[in-house]
Chains A and B, each alone.
Chain A
Amino acid sequence: GAGVSQTPSNKVTEKGKYVELRCDPISGHTALYWYRQSLGQGPEFLIYFQGTGAADDSGLPNDRFFAVRPEGSVSTLKIQRTERGDSAVYLCASSRTRTGPNTEAFFGQGTRLTVV
């Protein structure tokens, strides 16, 4: 596609529910990143995929968070037993190459998650 696409753009869920957030990267981009941004803060790293595998998941805050990228394209971020503290904007980015000086990340519009 022309850019990174994230769906839904907004999601309101009740505390304790399960949610899935979807990211469609730019066609041909092998690297995919998930970030979380709280109000007034910069984005914080969650997980990085190179192809189908998670190359670095050190930013996932706890075992309620999980992400997959089964075919090396679309990725889904899954949050179980949501808590009010999970409310944030979840950003997805993709880049064309393996990490190096030329690596430029392109971000989607984000999914605003609100847990009530």
Chain B
Amino acid sequence: KQEVTQIPAALSVPEGENLVLNCSFTDSAIYNLQWFRQDPGKGLTSLLLIQSSQREQTSGRLNASLDKSSGRSTLYIAASQPGDSATYLCAVLTQGGSEKLVFGKGTKLTVNP
């Protein structure tokens, strides 16, 4: 059974810092990995998708990496801003008989002005 873990559960940083969020998964049989952002009381906004054959994806100040063999992904946020405050979720799209997104519990990020 696929399990996704995100560390840390919460992170508080001053504005301007670069930061890294971690995601690990137990089964490497995945199609891709997606990072999402969730604001309080809102749905999920897709940030980055990394296909299983790819190593990284970049969008603006965000860079996500994937090491499928070791079951790890990181989301790097450069020059953090208060508007980046949200919960960040990673999810893997599993292969095999049950193809679905399996989520971690998320990292709650607070960027202080």
Interface size, A (range): 20 to 34
Does A25 belong to the interface (CB within 8 Å)?
A: no
Query: Which of A11-19, A64-72, A79-87, A105-113 is found at the contact surface with chain B?
Result: A105-113
Flag whether A58 is at the interface (Cβ < 8 A).
yes
A62 CB–B CB distance under 8 Å: no
Determine how close the nearest CB of chain B comes to the CB of A97; give it in whole angstroms: 11
Assembly CA distance A99 to B41 (angstroms): 28
Flag if B99 contacts A109 (CB, 8 Å): no
User: Looking at the complex, which of B11-19, B29-37, B77-85 is the stretch in contact with chain A?
Assistant: B29-37
Is B86 part of the binding interface, using a Cβ–Cβ cutoff of 8 Å? no
Which one of A35, A55, A56, A104 lies within 8 Å of B46 (CB-CB)?
A104
A43 touches B31 (CB 8 A): no
Q: Is the CB of A105 within 8 A of B46?
A: yes
Contacts of A99 in B (CB 8 A): 31, 93, 99
- Give Cα distance in the complex from A105 to B103, angstroms: 12
B residues in contact with A45, CB < 8 Å:
100-102
* Range of interface residues on B (Cβ < 8 Å): 20 to 34
Given A48-B100, A58-B98: A43 and B44 within 8 A (CB)? yes
A48 CA / B34 CA spacing, docked (Å): 18
**Residues of the A chain whose Cβ atoms lie less than 8 Å from the Cβ of B75:** none
Q: Which residues of A contact B52 (CB under 8 A)?
A: 101
Contact of B4 with A by CB under 8 A: yes
For B43, the closest partner residue in chain A by CB is A109
A41 with B105, Cβ < 8 A, contacts A99-B31, A99-B93 known: yes
Chain B positions 16 through 59: 1 when the CB is less than 8 Å from some CB of chain A, otherwise 0: 00000000000000011010100001111110010111000000
Verify B105–A56 contact, CB threshold 8 A: no
Inter-chain pairs besides A43-B91, A101-B51, 16 sampled, C-beta below 8 Å = A35-B101, A42-B89, A43-B103, A45-B102, A56-B98, A58-B98, A59-B100, A91-B43, A93-B44, A93-B101, A101-B53, A103-B31, A103-B32, A103-B93, A105-B93, A105-B101
